Amino acid sequence: VLVGPGDDAAAVRPTRRPLLLTTDSLIESVHFRHGWTSPADLGRRAFAVNASDIAAMGGAPRYALVALEIPGRAPVAEIDALVAGFSTAARRSGARLIGGNLARGPHLAITVTLIGEAPGRVVTRSGARPGDHLFVTGALGATGLAVRRLAAGRRGRLPALPNRVSQGILLARLAHAMIDVSDGLAQDLGHVCRASSVAAEIELARLPVATACRRALGERAEVFAATAGEDYELLVAIPPHQLPALARLRLGCRLTEIGRVARGRPAVRLLDRAGLPVRVPRGGFDHFARA
């Protein structure tokens, strides 16, 4: 970093590696409601959702810009805590907050621009091929369940989001395609299918459903975990010849095979224990869907 926060613009020294650039917003009353998280957690979360997109391309976050919209009533200590939470999360991932902007607005809104670097191959959504094995990191459904409970007025906190940056870099060496699970596994796999012009099948019985989700929803937990979203785990398509190399990776987190990529028109099929397709009411989170 040649010029950090406080000047008209930040300046960084260019590197020879590909840069990855992404932006995302967290908006009060859209993505969260007042009181769902502490300001520091919200800062960490704002970093994590953007870092997840960089991880899904096989990169590591390096530089962050934050634009904050703040209601006039917000205490300064809360804003400080939010920014501190963001900076700490960034630093732990090897990134630096290098600038930003503050404006008064009707809601709290945090817009992050994150710049990352890809140490190796950049992995997109468009490389999946029929016969690829589908894997997902971590577990699914815990945050979706917490959001549903909080939205229903119950007490609780949003679970911390996973950091899959190191896993994304390792998986990028072997993957045909990769995406992070933000809108729901089925919906995000649908994005991969459309970008790659392939179909995909998920065996619901194989999904790594979070314990809390399994306990709360019983038989319905698998479909919920496949559609709820907010998991920020990595979904990856691995060609068969890379499976031995995959088994040798030291990922440091759970990795579960959940299905296959198939020939056909872009579509995602969720299969029950008998191998029959399950109809799902709704594909995942859509900002512009009618309630």
Q: Which residues bind Mg ion (CB under 5 A)?
A: 53, 180
56: which residues sit within 8 A by CB, 6+ positions away? 123, 168, 178, 179, 180, 234
**Shortest Å distance, C-beta 275 to Mg ion:** 30
| Closer to Mg ion by Cβ: residue 180 or 201 | 180
Report residue 206 as tokens: 């194989």
CB of 53 to Mg ion, least distance (A): 4
SS3 for 88? helix
Residues 6+ apart with CB under 8 A from 13: 1, 2
Q: Which is nearer to Mg ion, 53 or 230 (CB)?
A: 53
Nearest-approach distance from CB 56 to Mg ion, in angstroms: 5
Per DSSP, the residues of 134-180 read EEEES-BSHHHHHHHHHHTT----PPPPP--HHHHHHHHTT-SEEEE
Contacts of 190 (CB under 8 A, 6+ apart): 266, 267, 268, 283
Q: Are residues 125 and 177 in contact, defined by beta-carbon separation less than 8 angstroms?
A: yes
Please identify, using beta-carbon distances, which residue of 180 and 230 lies nearer to Mg ion.
180
N-term to C-term CA, the chain: 45
Q: Which two tokens stand for residue 94?
A: 């090897």
Q: Residue 290: which residues within 8 A CB-CB, separation 6 or more?
A: none
For Mg ion, the closer of residues 10 and 118 by Cβ is 118
> Which amino acid appears at position 242 of this protein?
Q
Comparing CB distances to Mg ion, the nearer of 64 and 221 is 64
For helices 165-172 and 39-55, angle between their N-to-C axes, nearest 10 degrees: 0
Could you tell me the smallest distance in angstroms from the CB atom of residue 43 to Mg ion? 20
| For Mg ion, the closer CB: 97 or 192 | 192
- Residue 125, classed as helix, strand or coil, is coil
Q: Which is nearer to Mg ion, 201 or 230 (CB)?
A: 230
